[in-house]
Amino acid sequence: RAKDLGRNAYQLYTPSMNARSFERLAMESSLRHALARGEFTLVYQGKVDLVSGRLSGVEALVRWRHPEMGLVSPAEFIPLAENMGLIGDIGAWVLKAACRQCKSWHDLGLPPVRIAVNVSALQFREGDVPAIVAEALRESGLPPNYLELELTESVLMQRVDEVAHVLRELRQMGVHISIDDFGTGYSSLSYLKRMPIDALKIDRSFVHDLLEDGHVADGEGAEIVSTIINLAHNLRLRAVAEGVETEEQADFLRAKGCDEIQGYLISRPVSGEDLVSLFDRNLLPPS
Ligand code: C2E
Ligand code: MG
Ligand code: MG
Ligand code: MG
């Protein structure tokens, strides 16, 4: 892979680049048909309440099963789908599939959880998100307050009044909103205050930076995470940490009053069937 070769500028002109362009072209032409061929699937990662230790929500993450390339990560194909004008259709499929899955967990009689769905900035700006959400809720029968949309800070930065209006519309429907990868963008605090949002998800790079040599250390990393938790609480929002991999990180986050965590410590993203084993039991390691 060209991107694994390092950041040497000369590589822009090597044959590996041609190979990569070719790979990209091939990916583009198959992405155009992926939806119709049923190649997308969702996996689910639990969020855990740090006080109760119980499953508090689930995030849906899309995967593309390409017949030759295997599983393609959303980090690779979502930007491509945006460029190709396909993100609206893919995003609508994700919303519907996620709502249906969540409703079927409810129908199994499991303790009801909320499903979180990622919405890209472009999808939010160019699509009629409230209409698509309404359709997904109607079709699945999922009550609106069991749906949460994860938006990135970049959404909040453009056309602020329009965005606030759309978010209020979603809020009035009963849908929850969280800000994903918080801290990596440049959202202004005054905008944040004006937006009807429910939670800040601390980007996993900050959660990772809590660790020095594998242990939580007093330092800049800890300061940043504590500051975001306090910011969330001052704005009356929940603080959720993503990318939690170790017990020490979880202990630190709990001590700082973080509300929920998500990450490999609790579970990798799994199929809808496998997620069922996370319901109805304590998911936190004993502290
Ligand atoms: P995200 O929404 O911030 O999702 C979290 C990502 O971190 C996921 O990667 C997840 O698998 C990964 N992750 C979870 N726990 C850990 C951990 O403990 N350690 C580490 N190192 N990673 C962890 P994934 O599934 O590859 O998704 C990447 C990004 O792609 C997502 O970041 C989201 O921005 C985007 N994405 C995923 N699904 C969708 C979708 O349906 N629609 C849109 N528009 N974007 C999506
Ligand atoms: Mg997310
Ligand atoms: Mg995130
Ligand atoms: Mg992230």
Question: DSSP letters along 160-193, please?
Answer: HHHHHHHHHHHHHHT-EEEEEEETSS---HHHHH
Q: Whose CA is nearest to atom 8 of ligand 1?
A: 61
Instruction: Give the pLDDT of residue 5.
Output: 47
Rounded CA gap, 206 and 216, in Å? 12
ipTM above 0.95, yes or no: yes
According to DSSP, the residues that pair with 116 across neighbouring strands are 59, 148
Q: Which residue, 238, 161, 162, 251, is CA-closest to 197?
A: 238
- Token pair 């004008």: residue: 85
Q: Name all residues whose Cβ lies below 6 A of ligand 1.
A: 45, 61-62, 73-75, 78, 91, 94, 118-120, 123, 150, 180-181, 204, 242-245, 263-264, 269
Q: In this predicted structure, what is the pLDDT of residue 14?
A: 61
Ligand with smallest separation from the Cα of 74 = 1
What distance in angstroms lies between residue 234's CA and the mean position of ligand 3's atoms? Answer: 21
pTM: predicted TM-score of the whole model, two decimal places:
0.93
Weakly modelled stretches of the chain, pLDDT under 70: 1-17, 287
pLDDT (0 to 100) of residue 163:
94
Tokens of 278: 């996370």
CA of 224 to the centre of ligand 1 (A): 21
Contact 151, 124 (CB under 8 A): yes
Tell which residue, 131, 127, 115, 175, has the closest CA to residue 155: 127
- Cα of 136 vs centre of ligand 1, distance in Å, is 22
- Gap between the Cα atoms of 280 and 175, Å rounded: 24
pLDDT of residue 158: 85
What is the whole-number distance in angstroms between the Cα of residue 192 and the centre of ligand 1? 23
- Atom index in ligand 1 nearest the CA of residue 87 equals 44
